Amino acid sequence: MHCLLRGVPSKKEIFYLYAQNQNQEIQTNKKIPPTFHDSIPFTRLTPKSNKFTLIQTSIIPNFLTREECDKLIIKSSQNMQSCLVKNADTGAVEPDPSRTSTNANISQREVPTITQKLALMTNRQTEQLETLQVLNYQHGQQFQPHTDGFDGPTNACGFLDSGRIVTIFCYLNDVEEGGKTMFTKLGLEIKPVKGLAVVHFPMSLELVEDERTEHQGNAAVDEKWILTTWVWKHWKGDYRYDDDKLPVLSEDII
């Protein structure tokens, strides 16, 4: 199955096309299980018809401007730390053995324009966004094959009995060699291009994990920077993880 989009719409059209329109006729791909059709919170017009076609993985050129990308790197670069993960057995937060990059968390109040872009694109509320992260991959660093979903509802990152229904990541720099994103079960290979966003759906609205979204970050040769976040089905419920509790990285508002 080859889901990589060609001839994507202009940036102006994206925000119209990604606003869900219940009055449009839906045209579905019968090869994809219906439970995952329902998980997709936005649609895209095909070039050949006026019908909306549900998609599984999308690339969006120039989702972030070059200036926004540069500012995110500057804001994060002095605040990078080892990537952490919650141990499923002990509940402890510890270094992630599958991901050798570093990251910095950014509060929504520091990036209000980007936060609104993400909410508008996915037709969801900002309260459903997981903490935004900027990731940096140096030479040899990688992210092993994984999905972003869970085996049913879970408690994590301040969300309770919920799950990630959308993944968004955006490349912040051009990468000439190494660092490609591979969707291992879809046959997709994406080269990092500055400003380009990738969107996919790791779980259905019934919170069933879609293992077809397994992906990996190939080992970096040239340095790679990424902005990433996830949309959860429900609003954040554990206010110990409230976005306002994050430290301010810099005074620059993006």
Residues 204 and 241 in one domain: yes
**Claim to verify: residue 101 and residue 173 sit in the same structural domain:** yes
Residue 174 and residue 196 in contact, taking contact as beta carbons nearer than 8 Å: no
Residues 86, 51 share a domain: no
Question: What is the domain range of residue 31?
Answer: 11-56
| Coil, strand or helix at 160 | strand
Enter the tokens of residue 174: 């051009």
181 and 138: one domain? Answer: yes
Six token digits for residue 46 = 């095909």
77 shares a domain with 37: no
User: Is the same domain home to 108 and 205?
Assistant: yes
Same domain, 82 and 28: no
Write the DSSP string, 6-37: SSPPPHHHHHHHTS--TTSPEE--TTS-HHHH
- Judge whether 254 lies within some domain: no
Domain check: are 52 and 135 in the same one? Answer: no
- Residue 95 in tokens: 């270094």
The residue behind tokens 């019968």 is: 30
Do 25 and 51 sit in the same domain of this protein?
A: yes
The total number of structural domains in the chain stands at 2
* C-alpha closest to that of 57 among 198, 171, 247: 198
Rg value, the chain, Cα: 17
Looking up residue 213, the CATH number of its domain turns out to be 2.60.120.620
In a domain, 16, yes or no: yes
Examine the domain organization and report whether 33 and 75 are in the same domain.
Answer: no
Say yes or no: 49 and 73 in one domain.
no
My answer on whether 237 and 119 are in the same domain is: yes
Strands of the chain, DSSP E: 26-27, 44-45, 52-53, 57-60, 81-82, 84-86, 93-95, 102-106, 132-137, 143-146, 154-156, 159-162, 164-171, 181-183, 188-190, 197-200, 215-217, 224-232
Does the residue 253 lie in any domain?
A: no
pLDDT (tens place) for every residue of the chain, 254 residues total: 222 332 333 333 333 333 332 222 223 233 333 333 333 333 332 333 333 334 467 889 999 999 999 999 999 999 999 887 777 778 777 777 788 899 999 999 999 999 999 999 888 999 999 999 999 999 999 999 999 999 999 999 999 999 999 999 999 999 999 999 999 988 889 999 999 999 999 998 889 998 889 999 999 999 999 999 999 999 999 988 999 899 999 999 99
